[in-house]
Amino acid sequence: MNATPDLARLNAELESKPPHDIITWAVKTFWPDIAMSSSFQTQSLPLLHIVSQVAPQLPILFLDTGYHFPETLAFRDQLVLEWKFNLQTVRAVMPRDEFVRQHGDDLYRKDPDLCCYINKVEPMERAMKGLRAWISGIRRDQSATRTDIQVLERTPDGVLRIHPLATWTRKDVWQYVHDHHLPEHPLLSQGYLSIGCAPCTRHVQEGEDERAGRWAGQEKTECGLHTLLRTGTDTPTDYQAATPAQEPTAITGESHRG
């Protein structure tokens, strides 16, 4: 990691801090140029719950890829209603009918990296324009690609990534969910430990790691949000040609805050 001395010092200080303290520090330091992303699955709940207590005004970015399970959308709506989040929906610049016209309705099968780039990475990069800090709930113990994440990381664009749960384990997450009587994503009981888009997610078998059901049977293990944005974005070569020329709206502006 290319940590500046200050970043290294801050990381050393924050490594042992609880998520409440990290979020409080981050919002105080970077407000209003800060947001959090969430995929609204059960493992997202501790961070969402903490934010609802210490920084309910924080924008929560939700990537609407158009491929979510209906259960995820219903769970998101339930939480937004109950916890009063400042939800901001982020979408691809390309309208869905144009996307299907150009790529067919199974790009996730033919070229999942391009599909993720169009529907996840580019919209999130666009949503982060003007931000100085971005909070997400990734943890070191989730997969082999996340074992070295730091609490604070600088993206190539200069945005500071903040991972308040970097040091937490899966057990810590479930303990928090249990202790605070938090609700469960409706698909958790069917073995969906990590939930993304429906075509690219299956339930997890006994003994598999929690992300084993994501892009199962493929080399792909990450959508790109948490890898490309750490190391520099490799834009898929045919994306420029596939993207309409007009400047997109960064965030659709759908606010669900009650």
Query: What residue ranges bind ligand SF4 (CB under 6 A)?
Result: 65, 67, 108, 112, 115-116, 119-120, 196-197, 199-200, 223
Of 148 and 234, CB closest to ligand SF4: 234
The DSSP bridge pattern shows strands 160-162 and 152-154 to be antiparallel
The Cα 177–Cα 212 span in angstroms is 22
Give min distance, CB of 199 to ligand SF4, in A. Answer: 5
Burial level of 5, CB count in 10 A (0-12/13-18/19+)? exposed
Burial level of 206, CB count in 10 A (0-12/13-18/19+)? exposed
- What Rg do the C-alpha atoms of the chain give, in angstroms? 18
Give pairs for 230-233: CB < 8 Å, separation 24+.
230/153, 230/155, 230/161, 231/156, 232/156, 233/121, 233/125, 233/156
Give min distance, CB of 173 to ligand SF4, in A. Answer: 22
Give pairs for 1-9: CB < 8 Å, separation 24+.
1/148, 1/150, 1/153, 2/154, 3/150, 3/154, 4/154, 7/152, 7/154
Active site residue ranges:
223
Structure tokens given for 121: 């990475």
Give min distance, CB of 136 to ligand SF4, in A. Answer: 16
- 8 in Cβ contact with 2 (< 8 Å): no
The Cα 253–Cα 72 span in angstroms is 20
Of 137 and 213, CB closest to ligand SF4: 213
Give min distance, CB of 29 to ligand SF4, in A. Answer: 32
Of 3 and 198, CB closest to ligand SF4: 198
Of 199 and 248, CB closest to ligand SF4: 199
Buried-state track 43-52, b at ≥16 Cβ within 10 A, e below 16:
bbbbbbbbbb
Of 58 and 118, CB closest to ligand SF4: 118
Of 65 and 72, CB closest to ligand SF4: 65
Give min distance, CB of 3 to ligand SF4, in A. Answer: 30
What residue is closest to ligand SF4 based on CB?
197
Give min distance, CB of 204 to ligand SF4, in A. Answer: 16
Question: Cα 121 to the chain's mean position, in Å?
Answer: 10
